[in-house]
Structure 1
Amino acid sequence: MRYLIILTLSLALLYGCATGPRYETEGVAVDLVPAEVAASPGVYTGARVIWGGMIVATRNLPDYTEMEVLGYPLGGAQRPDTSRTAQGRFLVRQPGYLEEVDYRQGRRVTVTGRLGENVDGQVGEAPYVYPVVHADDIHLWPWDRHADRDSRTRFHIGVGVIFTR
């Protein structure tokens, strides 16, 4: 009986560690990055991609929601690895409405979809060419307050004292 309880708890713990989707990469341009697509207008239109990054801005428009995302390489479980070098910005277009409070600046997303035509825009005052991903699926990663800190290993020791009368 004891082993059954330990096994059940172990499986529950492992299940809790499965933190995100695992998108199928067959037929996906896995080596393609936003900066490369922006530099080659029309060449990659229609290609399937799995891209991820950090949301810069979200805008609800009449027919779709558009997110501006700063792309990063995907790490484990296809989660954007923001400790690595950014790969350029891109736009995600999702039909319908996405709540801007949920899809706010600083949240991480992984997106699957097909590339559309590039769109001219601006980053600050500078002109910028945005690749556009017409989303099939968007995974919004849980807010992780520890992911925004540097990746140094930390060790803390504390002493607790309880006073009673």
Structure 2
Amino acid sequence: MVSIRVLFLVVMAWLLAGCASTVPDPVRSPPDETPSLAQVRDDPGGHDGESVRWGGEIVEVRNEADATWLEIVERPLRSGGQPRDADRSEGRFLARVEGFLEPTLYAPGREFTVAGTLDGTVKGAIGEYGYTYPVVEVAAHHLWQERAEPRQVAPRPYYDPWYDPWCDHRWYRHPGSPYYYGPYRRPYW
């Protein structure tokens, strides 16, 4: 009887551990009244010190002696903080993270979400185009797993376009019947 109780407690602890989220709370839930990137770019100095939750796709990673700078192309976020796979953006921003981030893990093309406070702007360039980057002092961040490409499965050559795997046709006999012709549909002629 004791072993059943121990087994039950172990299974319940395992199930509850599966419900835990690894995404930090500031990244998962947006702050109240957060400005958009377009609003900050229109009024660069007017939003300093405000809390934001932005995310997108990493473009570049630069490690310095005490911090890591990430250039990120902004993307709209889902309710849980993950960037949407959308072809629209309000621009780019810089995220300053205290400490060292491994550039091979935080590689260009990876999805990244930050939560922190706005800390002015930095002038830079994209190619030869002059650009003003809003800077986010990062308090919490999350690197999202790479999305798997959906498999493109071609239909099997022996299925015709009108094949319905859920509906048995009256001329098609079941496997237990004496006149079963195999798993393929019989031709109409």
Equivalent residues of 1:33, 1:88 under 8 A apart: no
Q: Does the CA-based 8 Å contact 1:53-1:82 persist in structure 2?
A: no
- The reply to whether residue 74 of structure 1 matches residue 72 of structure 2 is no
Is the 8 Å Cα contact of residues 74 and 90 (structure 2) preserved in structure 1? yes
Secondary structure class of the residue paired with 1:83: coil
Q: Which amino acid aligns with 1:137?
A: A
Contact 1:73–1:84 (Cα < 8 Å) also in 2: no
Percentage identity across aligned positions? 35
Distance in 2, Cα, partners of 1:57 & 1:82? 19
Q: Residue 146 of structure 2 aligns with which residue? A: 143
**AA paired with 1:98?**
L
Which structure 1 residue ranges, 5 or more long, are not aligned?
160-165
Contact 2:76-2:86 within 8 A present in 1 as well: no
> Distance in 1 between the 2:123 and 2:113 partners?
23
Report the TM-score, using the length of structure 1 for normalisation: 0.74
1:92: which partner in 2? Answer: 95
Q: CA deviation at 1:107?
A: 0.3
The 1:91–1:156 alpha-carbon spacing in structure 2 relative to 1, beyond 3 Å, is same
Larger Rg: 2
Aligned partner of 2:114 in structure 1 is 111
CA spacing shift, 1:19–1:63, aligned 2, 3 Å:
closer
* Alignment of structure 1 residues 50-61 onto 2, 5 Å: 50-61=53-64
Structure 2 residues not aligned, in runs of 5+: 1-7, 158-189
SS of residue in 1 equivalent to 2:141: strand
Could you say which residue in structure 2 is the equivalent of 1:43?
A: 46
Query: After superposition, what is the alpha-carbon deviation per residue over 1:120-146, rounded to whole angstroms, capped at 9, x for unaligned?
Result: 100110000100000001100011132
Whether 2:169 is the aligned partner of 1:134: answer no
**1:29 is matched with which residue: 16, 26, 33?**
33
Structure 1's consecutive aligned runs of 4 or more residues displaced over 6 angstroms after TM superposition are none
* 1:73-111 superposed Cα distances (whole Å, 9 cap, x missing partner): 101421011315112100000111111111110000110
Q: Check whether the contact 1:111–1:138 (CA below 8 A) recurs between aligned residues.
A: yes
Secondary structure of the residue aligned to 2:39 is helix
Alpha-carbon displacement from aligned partner over 1:22-81 (angstroms, at most 9, x marks no partner): 53334x433x22232122121000000000100000000122100000001101421011
The RMSD of aligned alpha carbons is 2.9
**Count, aligned residues:** 144
